[in-house]
């Protein structure tokens, strides 16, 4: 009977050690993630205090909580362009390679031309694309046929500016002018669109929220500018296309202040004025 107690005790000690080991392993795995989030959150709060110490007023909820957008890359997809042209133009569509990476699609309703840098233009047959009372809504529907989601950023008497978005985020550099006449939409001019699905670019990464905030203030100082208030921050993308390689999508913040609008590249921290 005397041997039983020590074994029971030993068994309990072994179980306790196993439980402790599991708890330690769990904390080793989960701990850094929780700690990292806490550190990022603290760094963001310190960055907001830094802004205020520099005389820049900002509501706390204006500063993004985290970096949601990641760098992307897009390979040109000629099949996708052909589908987009056919969907927009309707009818029987023919294609012609015009050299230099330029492809033109024609049907009885007009023509659409795509360039390797994302430039898109269209000449449309008068009356083939009538617009009703809500021109903006109908133009958005036509652009959706081209495979482009977005907003009408500006509406003038004979022109509408369409700005594309991707997964709900604005593509600041992807805008086209939609030309309207009495007979409806007559042309798409002066701009770029993104056709196809980007993939994540693992060769680049974004800075932290806190770093971007501090880089923004330092970048403004380098430009010789000052501001007293940040009114809004809109995350989105800018694109850069090479003639032969893929299109690169870089996440940026568009920052509206009391003295003007700025853009900060969230990969490099570079700041520029937005005209």
Write out pLDDT tens, residues 53-86. 989 999 989 999 889 999 999 998 899 999 999 9
The per-residue pLDDT for 266 is 96
Write out pLDDT tens, residues 172-221. 999 999 999 888 899 998 789 999 889 999 999 999 999 999 999 999 99
Kind of pairing between the strands at 184-189 and 199-200: unpaired
Between CA 230 and CA 235, with CA 234 as vertex, the angle to 5 degrees is: 130
Handedness of CA 12, 15, 20, 21 (dihedral sign): positive
Cα–Cα distances (Å) from 238 to 34, 42, 201, in that order, read: 32, 29, 14
Can you list the positions of beta strands (E) in 50-118? 72-74, 94-99, 102-107, 110-114
pTM here is: 0.81
Handedness of CA 41, 43, 49, 50 (dihedral sign): negative
- Residue 24: band (very low, low, confident or very high) from pLDDT cuts 50, 70, 90: confident
Q: How many helices (H) and strands (E) does the chain have?
A: 4, 14
Mean pLDDT on 210-237: 94
- Residue 162: band (very low, low, confident or very high) from pLDDT cuts 50, 70, 90: very high
**What distance in Å separates the CA atoms of residue 271 and residue 90, rounded to the nearest whole number?**
43
């Amino acid at each position: 009977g005397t041997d039983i107690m020590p074994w029971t005790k030993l068994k309990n000690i072994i179980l306790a050690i196993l439980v402790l080991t599991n708890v330690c392993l769990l904390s080793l795995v989960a701990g850094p993630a929780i700690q990292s989030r806490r550190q990022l959150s603290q760094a963001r709060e310190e960055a907001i205090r830094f802004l205020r110490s520099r005389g820049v007023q900002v509501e706390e909820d204006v500063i993004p909580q985290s970096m949601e957008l990641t760098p992307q890359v897009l390979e040109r997809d000629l099949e996708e362009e052909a589908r987009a042209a056919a969907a927009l133009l309707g009818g029987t569509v023919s294609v012609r390679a015009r050299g230099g990476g330029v492809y033109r699609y024609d049907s009885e309703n007009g023509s659409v031309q795509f360039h390797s840098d994302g430039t898109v233009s269209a000449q449309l047959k008068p009356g083939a694309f009538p617009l009703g009372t809500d021109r903006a809504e109908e133009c958005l529907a036509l652009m959706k046929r081209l495979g482009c989601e977005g907003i009408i950023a500006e509406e003038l008497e004979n022109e509408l500016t369409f700005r594309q978005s991707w997964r709900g985020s604005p593509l600041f550099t992807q805008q086209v002018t939609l030309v309207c006449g009495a007979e409806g939409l007559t042309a798409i001019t002066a701009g770029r669109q993104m056709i196809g699905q980007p993939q994540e670019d693992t060769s680049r990464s974004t800075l932290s929220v806190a770093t971007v905030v501090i880089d923004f203030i330092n970048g403004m100082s380098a430009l010789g500018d000052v501001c007293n208030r940040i009114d809004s921050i809109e995350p989105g993308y800018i694109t850069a296309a090479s003639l032969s390689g893929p299109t690169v999508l870089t996440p940026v913040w568009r920052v509206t202040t009391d003295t003007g609008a700025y853009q900060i590249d969230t990969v490099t921290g570079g700041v520029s004025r937005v005209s």
